[in-house]
Amino acid sequence: MRPLILGSAGSQPTPKAGCTCRLCTLAREQGGRARRTGPSLYLPEAELLVDTPEEANLQLTAHGLTPRHVVWTHAHPDHAAGMRVVQFLAQSANRPVQGWVPRPLYPVLAERYPLERLVDAGYLELHLIAPSRPFDLGGVRVTPLAHGLEEPVFAYLFETASARGLYAPDHVRSLPLPEGPFDWAVVQMPIPPLDALPFELPPNDEAWQAFYTFDQAVEAWRERTRQLVFTHVYESVGMTPEELDAVAARAGEWVAFAHDGMAVESAAVPTPELDRLERFRAEQARIERAYADDPKRMRAELRRLWARFKKG
């Protein structure tokens, strides 16, 4: 799999209209990686767009992409307000775009955005799905994973015969991390180390509850993924791409901060390790088939499998 990060901004883009902060000024003057649009991902293997931020149309035209499938993570504007791009895609293809929405997310998405209008006009064919139930998109198994929040927020797990990836761009601290090894994980950025942050973050700031620290995030993913990419890069953090590169380098080459238009490349893996991964995946698929009607047992078996795999 070769996911493309179309937009890497956090809840607000860089530069922001009227903002004269150092970062927005730099982004206006130099452009390049300093410019960030709303968070979204394109998965070519599944012709899938994950989320429609305000700039979704610009993102797709910049890369000449015409996704046939779309899913949403949650109903915040930086992930959904550019939904009307579905209309343009349907018009150009002369057929509806196929969309998948986890059931708990549907009412919120439909209340805030023109979801039903897109369906009524024939631009969108909507499939309501159960959380944790995988569906197949062109050979990619896609599973929506629910975050442990009252508000409906979902991450997406992508699996093929040879690769496994996770996209959890926002609220990642509330996501129970799925079992097993990953080739890539694109997740919400943590709080950078304090000595790198350009401002004070007092110990009682609520960010400490809502976000992982950089060290926590790196520890949670070490030896769990080959490639870790931090996205949802906040304009309010005020750090330049080069400053973020220097932070990522503290963890090693397997960690990076996203930028708009970044293709996530899986590092080459030695063959014995690949064989092990393949055996893991085969066993995982067997467990999922065997306990399809007993999700509790399935999770227990998958946890055991993961524990055995970690021991090596």
Q: Which residues bind Zn ion (CB under 5 A)?
A: 11, 16, 19, 21, 24, 78, 170
Of residues 140 and 239, the one with the C-beta less far from Zn ion: 239
**Residue 202 contacts by C-beta under 8 Å, 6 or more apart in sequence?**
none
Of residues 2 and 16, the one with the C-beta less far from Zn ion: 16
Written in H, E and C, the secondary structure of 224-279 is: CEEEEEEECECHHHCCCHHHHHHHHHCCCCCEEECCCCEECCCCCCCHHHHHHHHH
CB atoms under 10 Å from CB of 133, counted, come to 13
Output the smallest distance, CB 104 to Zn ion, in A: 18
Sign, Cα dihedral of 166, 234, 103, 151: positive
Of residues 29 and 293, the one with the C-beta less far from Zn ion: 29
Residue 197 to residues 84, 210, 288, Cα–Cα distance (Å): 37, 17, 43
Output the smallest distance, CB 197 to Zn ion, in A: 15
Q: For residue 167, give the nearest of 235, 249, 229 by alpha carbon.
A: 229
Output the smallest distance, CB 52 to Zn ion, in A: 12
Of residues 21 and 251, the one with the C-beta less far from Zn ion: 21
CB atoms under 10 Å from CB of 81, counted, come to 18
Instruction: Report the half-sphere exposure of 244 (CA within 13 A, side-chain side).
Output: 24
Of residues 11 and 213, the one with the C-beta less far from Zn ion: 11
Is the link from the previous residue into 15 a cis peptide, with omega within 30 of 0?
yes
Of residues 74 and 281, the one with the C-beta less far from Zn ion: 74
Residue 199 to residues 173, 193, 195, 259, Cα–Cα distance (Å): 22, 11, 9, 22
Of residues 21 and 119, the one with the C-beta less far from Zn ion: 21
Output the smallest distance, CB 26 to Zn ion, in A: 9
Say if residues 196 and 243 touch (Cβ distance below 8 Å): yes
